[in-house]
Amino acid sequence: MKRTKRTHNPTRRRVLILCEGQTEKNYFQAIKEDPEYKQQLLAVHPQVVVAKNPSPDQIVQEASYRARKAREEGNAYDKIWVVFDHDHQPQRFAAYEHALRQGFGIGFSAIAFESWYLLPFERSARAYESAEALLDALAKHYPSYQKARQNDFAYLKGKLQQALSNAAWLKDQVAAAEKHTTNCNPWTDVDLLVLELIES
C-alpha cells in the first residue's frame, strides 16, 4: 500500500539526527529547510557531534546521553538517528550494535556518505576502497561537488526517486545473511532516513 503524506500533523515528531560530519548535517538541514517539507520537519534537529574526528562509538554514546537528558527534561525525542560511515573505522560494528540496542535509527554508509550522492546517477554495486576513490567517481557526475559547501539536497532533489530505487536495488545486490551491514561495501541506509523525513 502506498503511503501518503499526512496533511494534518499538529504534534510534529521530535527527531534528532546526530552526524559525524558537517556534510551529513548540511544535507539533512537542507531537507528540513526545503519549501516542500519545512512545515512538517520543524521538530527535526540535525546536529554534528563536537569532536575533531568523531568515531561511530562516540556518536552513539552522545546520542544515548542526549536521549537520556531529553527524557529527564520532559522533552523526549520521538526518534533518534545516528549517521556514520564505514571508512575503515574499527568501532563501526560495536557502535552499530549499540545503536540497535538503544532503538536508534542508523544511517550507515560505505565507504562514505557520498555513496548516497552517487546513487542518483549510477545503479552500481562497485565497492570503493576509500572515500577519496568514491569522490573521484562522484566528480564525473557532480563536478561542482565540494564537501559541506553547497546545498546537495537541492542539487540532487530532482533525482531523488532514482536514488531511492537504486538504494533498494543495491541492498538486494550486496546484502548477505552471513555479512554484517558494517562490513558491506558499497552500502547506504541514508535512503531510510530520507524516506522517514519526507513521508512524515
User: Taking the CA atoms of the chain, what radius of gyration do you get in angstroms?
Assistant: 16
**Residue 23 host element (H or E):** helix 22-33
For residues 81 and 105, the answer to whether their CB atoms sit within 8 Å is yes
For residues 34 and 158, the answer to whether their CB atoms sit within 8 Å is no
**HEC states along 76-138?**
CCCEEEEEEECCCCCCHHHHHHHHHHHCCEEEEEECCCHHHHHCCCCCCCCCCCCHHHHHHHH
pTM: 0.92
**HEC states along 140-179?**
CCCCCCCCCCCCHHHHHHHHHHHHHHHHHHHHHHHCCCCC
List residues bridging with 45 in a β-sheet: 16
DSSP helix/strand/coil, 45: strand
- In angstroms, the CA 150 to CA 60 distance is 27
Residue-level pLDDT, tens digit, the chain, 200 residues = 444 444 444 468 999 999 999 999 999 999 999 999 999 999 999 999 987 778 999 999 999 999 999 999 999 999 999 999 999 999 999 999 999 999 999 999 999 999 999 999 999 999 999 999 999 999 999 999 999 999 999 999 999 999 999 999 999 998 766 689 999 999 999 999 999 999 97
